[in-house]
Structures are given as structure tokens and as C-alpha cells.
Structure 1
Amino acid sequence: MPRPRCPRCTRPPNHCLCPLTPHLPSRSRVLILQHPSEERHALNTARLAQLGLENAELRVGEVFDELPALLADPAYSACLLFPGDEAQPLVPVLPDARPTLLVVPDGTWRKARKLLYLNPVLAGLPRVALPEGLTSRYRLRKAPEPGALSTLEAIVAALDILEAPARFDALLRPFEALIEGQIAAMGEETFKRNHGDLREDR
């Protein structure tokens, strides 16, 4: 018999994240394209972003036939959050300008690149990137390269720039709770022994 789970956050009832999950408005629209391999990931931070943002949508798959119609919405100016030589730094959007439709691939770097390859319409979008030097709060895993963030952290950092001075840090509360829960499950001593060099000073 399957264990009961919260229908909203999909966590067991005694670890439900809904009380920690905000419901934040934003001018920007966030479209997350999630590779299917990420859907059952223990953290699944893309889902946390969808739950915490009023103007966010999560789609799961490899080929998204509906993308051209989604990107053609005249109410928004679409861009792709993905690093690269041609990516431009994110800048605040002026109040009288069209809000941003921020397209965010969700997966490992290899899977994210596959999403771009399988959906050529994404190549036609302007690319934007986050500032260098950002550090992930995911203390249980060493980032594969400098500046690598979880999908949720990347979305928070992007919205903090696009909609400055508004802040979206509240989206990280359930993410932090998940990490602390994993640390508690493994035990503090085991965590220190295996991950002590990754823990941030608090």
C-alpha cells in the first residue's frame, strides 16, 4: 500500500512543506521545462518554485510542441535562463516595460542541453545569465562547477534582479527545510564527516 502523501507538495504528511511555501506574486512569468528524470528527484526544486510563485508554470517532458504558442504571448518578453558565451547579464525590468517570460530548463547540465537540442525554438530566444560568484545553499552536494545553483535558487536570484527591489527569498524556506531534514536523517556526525567542508558558516 503506498504511503500517504500531501497532494500539493507530494511530501509525507509529517514532512509537509505547504506551511513553509509562500504564494508570491510576480510581474515576471516563469516557465520551467523539466526533464522527466527530475520529476521524482528527492528535492525537485522546480516544483517548489511552481508552488511558491503565482505566475509560474511547470511542464514535464523532452519535446514541448506547445512552446511556440507559449513564447509568442505578446504580454511578455521571452528569454532563456541558460549560461553561455552569448548570454547577457540579467538586468532589472523597468515598470513601464513588458514583463519577462523567463524560460528555465530543469535538469542536469547534460539533460538541460538535451532539452535545448530537442526544442529548437529555444535557440531563437535571447539568453540571459546570473552574475558570477553565486553559491548554492545545497550543502549535501558539491556543485559540478562554480556558480551552479539548483533550479529554485536560480529562479530566486533571477527574480531578485528582474524585479528589484522586490525579494523572493521566501521561496527558499521549504528548500532549506528539505536540506535540514536530510541532514537530520543521516545524523549530524555523518554529515560532518562526509560533507563538513561544504557547510556554510551561519
Structure 2
Amino acid sequence: MSRPQCPRCLRPTTHCLCALIPSLDSRTRVLLLQHPSEVNHALNTARLAALGLLNAQLVVGEVFEDLPALLNPPGYQARLLFPAEDAQPLQAYSPSDLPLLLVVPDGTWRKARKLLHLNPLLAALPRVTLAAGAVSRYRLRKAPGPGALSTVEAIVQALQVLEAPQSFEPLLRPFEALIEGQIAAMGEEVFQRNHGGD
């Protein structure tokens, strides 16, 4: 017997996050390419990001047949937010800059790399990266290394740089409520034992 689910945020209706999801406009267009294994993940942060940004689109799949169209919306230049040797650090727009279509693969690192492998057009995009040393608020998992952020955190950080001084912090409110809810459900003692210390 499954619990009733909110059709928008896909959370159980008793834990619906919709009241916390903002409606933010951005000059940047965000395209989230989500690996199918992430769709039913309890902490589906890509969905939260897509719901909270007016200029965002979430597409689920492994091979994206319509990628040429997705990567070429008129008036934008596509960049892949993914680490690489030649990735350029994001910088604030100057008034004459064409806005970015920020393409964000969503999945574990292994699944995200698989999306790039299966979609050569994606892998061929110029890459951009975030400033080093960001600390994740995602206290429920061990990050694979410094600067490993959840999808919504990476998007917020990218937009804060590109569109300064506009703040995209409100996008993190449902994410933080989600984490607090998970911690409350497992109990403080279990949380401390499993996630409290290094």
C-alpha cells in the first residue's frame, strides 16, 4: 500500500514541499538531464531545482533523441556544468554576454559520466565549473570529495556567480527541509552515528 503522493513535488502528501518551493526567474536557462535511476530517489534535488526556476527544464532519460533541439534554444549558448581539465570557471555576465543554457547532468558521478558517454553531443559541449572548495549542506551522504555538491546546490552556486547580486538561496529551502525531515525520521542518535563525524 503506497502512501498518497503530491503530484508536483512527488513527496508523500504528509511531507509535501510545495509551500517552500520558490518561483525564481533567471537570465540563465537551466537544462537538467536526469538519469532514470534518480527519479524516485527520496532526495530528488534536480526536481526541486526545476520546480523552483521558471527558466528550467527537466528531461529524464539515458539517450536523448531530441538533444540537438534541447541544446540550441534561440538566444542562448550551451555550456555543460561538469568537471574537466579544460573547464572554464563560471563568471558573472557582462551586459553584452549571451546568456547561458546551463546543461546539468543529474545522477551519481558514474551515472552522469554514462550520460555523457551515451550522448556524444553532450560530451562535446564546452564545460564550465564552480569555484573550488564549496561545502555541501547535504549532511546525509558522504561526499566523494571537496566541492561535491547535490544538483540543486550546484545550480544555486552557478546562478549566484552568473547573475550576481541576485540571490538564488530560496531554492535551497525545500532541500534543507527535506534533509531535516530525513534526519528527524532516522532519529538524532542514528544520524550522529552514521553521519555526525568523519
Partner amino acid, structure 2, of 1:88: Q
| Structure 2: 5+ residue stretches without partners | none
Q: Secondary structure, in 3 states, of the residue corresponding to 1:10?
A: coil
Partner of 1:125: 125
- 2:145 pairs with 1:150: no
1:4-19 matched pairs, under 5 angstroms: 4-19=4-19
Aligned to 1:174: 174
Aligned to 1:139: 139
Using the TM superposition, give the Cα deviation of residue 124 of structure 1 relative to its aligned residue in structure 2, in angstroms: 2.4
Structure 2 residue 33 is the aligned partner of structure 1 residue 33: yes
Aligned twin of 2:67: 67
Question: Does the residue aligned with 1:73 lie in a helix, a strand or coil?
Answer: coil
Give the secondary structure class of the aligned counterpart of 1:33.
strand
Cα deviation, residue 68, structure 1:
0.8
Letter matched to residue 181 of structure 1: G
Letter in 2 for 1:189: E
Query: Aligned residue for 1:56?
Result: 56
Instruction: Give the whole-Å Cα distance in 2 for the aligned partners of 1:73 and 1:194.
Output: 44
CA distance in 1: counterparts of 2:24 and 2:149, whole angstroms? 21
Q: How many residues align?
A: 198
- Structure 2: distance between partners of 1:119 and 1:193: 40
Cross-structure match for 1:96: 96
Runs of 4+ in 1 over 4 A off after TM superposition: none
Deviation at 1:96, TM superposition (A): 2.9
CA distance in 2, matches of 1:2, 1:15: 14
Query: TM-score, normalising length from structure 2?
Result: 0.96
Q: Does 1:22 align with 2:3?
A: no
User: What's 1:110 paired with?
Assistant: 110
**Mean alpha-carbon deviation: is it higher for 78-87 or for 94-103?**
94-103
Question: Does the C-alpha gap of structure 1 residues 120 and 133 become closer, same or farther in structure 2, counting only changes over 3 Å?
Answer: same
* Alignment correspondent of 1:192: 192
Percent identical: 72
CA shift at 1:134, angstroms? Answer: 0.3
CA distance in 1, matches of 2:124, 2:79: 9
Q: What SS does the aligned partner of 2:74 have? A: coil
- 1:55 and 1:197 map into 2 onto residues whose CA distance is 38
The separation in 2 between residues aligned to 1:31 and 1:46, in whole angstroms, is: 10
**1:61 Cα deviation after fit:** 0.3
- Which residue in 2 is equivalent to 1:85? 85
